[in-house]
């Protein structure tokens, strides 16, 4: 077999390992069960309009990690896009994260930062964070009933398809409220979108003579090449699929939330004037609408000015057949994860990484950063040993 390392999953975690290993001289095979590389960061032009659509939900790149920033800039340059989100509540549009502008608009006032802080503190006094019984009480204890009910309660209930009284208070430790007019969504040092799109970036990472990519190839399908039965014990494996699936759910299924997307091409130049509009009210079924052309204002000459692409986002619990997006992380999930971690430790020469392999929500920069660490601490050592024995 002409492979020194098998990487299961071509998302950012798997491709970072593959790229580093290929650069160090290893022959790497990357498999993915999907028909494209890039995992959830994959994007493609919508065919009628050419507008770049993020297939698995909006992906905004941001990081304060110097090493990650230097690394990603080897494969792409970034636009100066800065993410901002708005929220339409009760037929009125507000800026998010909740900030002094939101508060003053909401209460029809002109509070100073100290006045707004005092008001929220007074409204939050209804419950105590320490002995709040559920998400509803905790949310009120954090930001007061009016802001909580308007911007957080139903939005979160829609995300979890569970009423705020039935959700655990553990799902939040704080709710974002700013007492100034800063409505930048992220606080990181670096932020932007890949100039020629996510897929061009991802393809450059995989474009190395030592990397072979096999798509439509499921690690658990023993009729396909590079499957688990044939490969474990033969070569080192970096596995970025779901950890519970690897062990055939022997310690139970870990629970995930998934998203459904409803995409529409509209015959209007501009539908909502901004990339992301949240809908926090209970009577609107979806949580938000993305309008993709606004992620790239610098492409205005190549995008049509009489058409746009929007995507409504709906959230629900995932079954085994759904794409797992966000770990639910119940107490049972945490117990199951600990058991799977013990099993993973015993699996010689198999390294579990990424969002699914560690059952952790990771932003792109975190997935890349943790892959670089795994390369430094584990896989590069194997590469050295292999080189010596060759």
Percent composition of the chain: helix, strand, coil (DSSP 3-state, to 5): 35, 20, 45
Would residue 305 show up in a list of annotated catalytic residues for this protein? no
Kindly state the smallest distance separating residue 299's Cβ from ligand FDA, in Å: 19
Nearer to ligand FDA, 94 or 246 (CB): 246
Q: How far is CA 169 from CA 119, 144, 175, 255, 356, in A?
A: 23, 15, 12, 18, 25
Kindly state the smallest distance separating residue 367's Cβ from ligand FDA, in Å: 4
Catalytic entry in 196, 203, 347, 363: 363
Kindly state the smallest distance separating residue 68's Cβ from ligand FDA, in Å: 10
Would residue 361 show up in a list of annotated catalytic residues for this protein? yes
Catalytic entry in 20, 34, 55, 178: 178
User: Cis bond leading into 106, ω under 30°?
Assistant: no
- Contact positions vs ligand FDA (CB under 6 A): 8-14, 31-34, 39-41, 56-61, 218-220, 240-241, 259, 325, 354-356, 362-365, 367
- Report d(CA 124, CA 111) in Å as an integer: 17
Would residue 334 show up in a list of annotated catalytic residues for this protein? no
Would residue 363 show up in a list of annotated catalytic residues for this protein? yes
Nearer to ligand FDA, 280 or 354 (CB): 354
Nearer to ligand FDA, 134 or 212 (CB): 212
Catalytic entry in 313, 333, 340, 359: 313
Kindly state the smallest distance separating residue 11's Cβ from ligand FDA, in Å: 2
Kindly state the smallest distance separating residue 298's Cβ from ligand FDA, in Å: 19
Catalytic entry in 84, 117, 245, 257: 257
Would residue 155 show up in a list of annotated catalytic residues for this protein? no
Would residue 174 show up in a list of annotated catalytic residues for this protein? yes
Beta strands in the chain (DSSP E): 5-8, 28-31, 43-45, 52-54, 61-63, 85-89, 92-96, 190-192, 211-214, 237-239, 256-266, 276-278, 288-291, 308-317, 326-327, 350-352
DSSP helix/strand/coil, 158: helix
Would residue 32 show up in a list of annotated catalytic residues for this protein? no
Nearer to ligand FDA, 149 or 191 (CB): 191
Catalytic entry in 2, 70, 174, 301: 174
Kindly state the smallest distance separating residue 120's Cβ from ligand FDA, in Å: 28
Kindly state the smallest distance separating residue 324's Cβ from ligand FDA, in Å: 8
**What's 177-191 look like in SS3?**
ECCCCCCCCCCCCEE
Closest CA to 31 of 207, 212, 176, 294: 212
Do 84 and 389 contact (CB within 8 A), yes or no? no
Structure tokens at 318: 């995932």
Catalytic entry in 66, 262, 361, 384: 361
If you search the block for the tokens 């979108």, which residue do you land on?
193
Nearer to ligand FDA, 31 or 205 (CB): 31
- CA 49 to chain CA centroid, Å, is 26
Which residues, listed in sequence order, are joined to residue 310 by a DSSP beta bridge? 264, 291
Buried b (16+ CB within 10 A) or exposed e, 233-256: eebbbbbbbbbbbbeeeebeebbb
If you search the block for the tokens 């990357």, which residue do you land on?
30
Nearer to ligand FDA, 12 or 155 (CB): 12
Nearer to ligand FDA, 56 or 271 (CB): 56
Active site residues: 174, 178, 257, 288, 313, 361, 363
């Amino acid at each position: 077999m002409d492979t020194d390392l098998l990487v299961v999953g071509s998302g950012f975690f798997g491709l970072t390992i593959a790229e580093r290993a290929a650069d160090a001289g290893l022959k790497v095979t990357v498999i993915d069960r999907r028909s494209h590389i890039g995992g959830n960061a994959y994007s493609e032009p919508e065919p009628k309009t050419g507008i770049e659509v993020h297939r698995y939900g909006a992906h905004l790149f941001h990081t304060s990690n110097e090493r990650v920033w230097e690394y990603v800039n080897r494969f792409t340059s970034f636009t100066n896009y800065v993410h901002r989100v708005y929220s339409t509540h009760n037929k009125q549009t507000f800026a998010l994260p909740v900030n002094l502008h939101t508060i003053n608009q909401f209460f029809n006032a002109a509070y100073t930062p100290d006045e707004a802080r005092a008001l929220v503190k007074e409204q939050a006094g209804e419950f105590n964070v320490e002995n709040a019984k559920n998400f509803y009480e905790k949310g009120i204890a954090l930001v007061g009933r009016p802001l909580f009910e308007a911007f957080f309660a139903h939005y979160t209930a829609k995300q979890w398809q569970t009423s705020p009284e039935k959700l655990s208070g553990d799902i939040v430790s704080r709710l974002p409220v700013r007492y100034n007019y800063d409505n930048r969504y992220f606080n990181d040092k670096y932020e932007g979108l890949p100039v020629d799109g996510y897929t061009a970036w991802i393809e450059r990472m995989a474009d190395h003579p030592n990397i072979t990519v096999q798509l439509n190839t499921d690690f658990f399908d023993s009729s396909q090449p590079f499957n688990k039965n044939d490969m474990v014990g033969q070569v080192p494996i970096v596995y970025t699929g779901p950890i519970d699936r690897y062990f055939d759910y022997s310690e139970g299924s870990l629970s995930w939330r998934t998203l459904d997307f409803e995409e529409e091409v509209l015959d209007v130049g501009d539908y909502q004037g901004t990339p992301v509009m949240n809908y926090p009210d209970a009577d609107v079924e979806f949580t938000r609408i993305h309008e993709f052309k606004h992620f790239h204002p610098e492409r205005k000459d190549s995008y049509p000015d009489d058409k746009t692409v929007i995507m409504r986002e709906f959230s629900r619990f995932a079954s085994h057949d759904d794409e797992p997006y966000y770990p639910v992380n119940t107490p049972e999930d945490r117990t199951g994860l600990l058991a799977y971690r013990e099993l993973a430790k015993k699996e010689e020469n198999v390294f579990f990484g990424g969002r699914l392999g560690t059952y952790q929500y990771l932003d792109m920069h975190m997935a890349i950063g943790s892959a670089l660490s795994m390369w430094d601490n584990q896989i590069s050592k194997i590469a050295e040993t292999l080189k010596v024995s060759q």
